[in-house]
Amino acid sequence: MVKHIPKGDLPEKICAHCQRPFRWRKKWQRCWDQVIYCSERCRRSR
């Protein structure tokens, strides 16, 4: 099992609100397919 994955190799998406790229986070590992905003601030201001 790999313990460390370089940040450049993590999946990336574009935020639906601010149009900035954001990368996968461990807290999103179970719901990455449903994540569309980079932060709570963007999610609230939709």
Radius of gyration of the chain (CA): 12
Tokens of 10: 């993590």
Positions of E strands within the chain: 12-14, 21-23
Span 1-46, pLDDT tens digits = 667 778 888 999 999 999 999 999 999 999 999 999 999 999 999 6
At residue 12, the pLDDT reads 95
At residue 44, the pLDDT reads 96
Q: pTM for the complete prediction?
A: 0.77
At residue 3, the pLDDT reads 74
At residue 2, the pLDDT reads 63
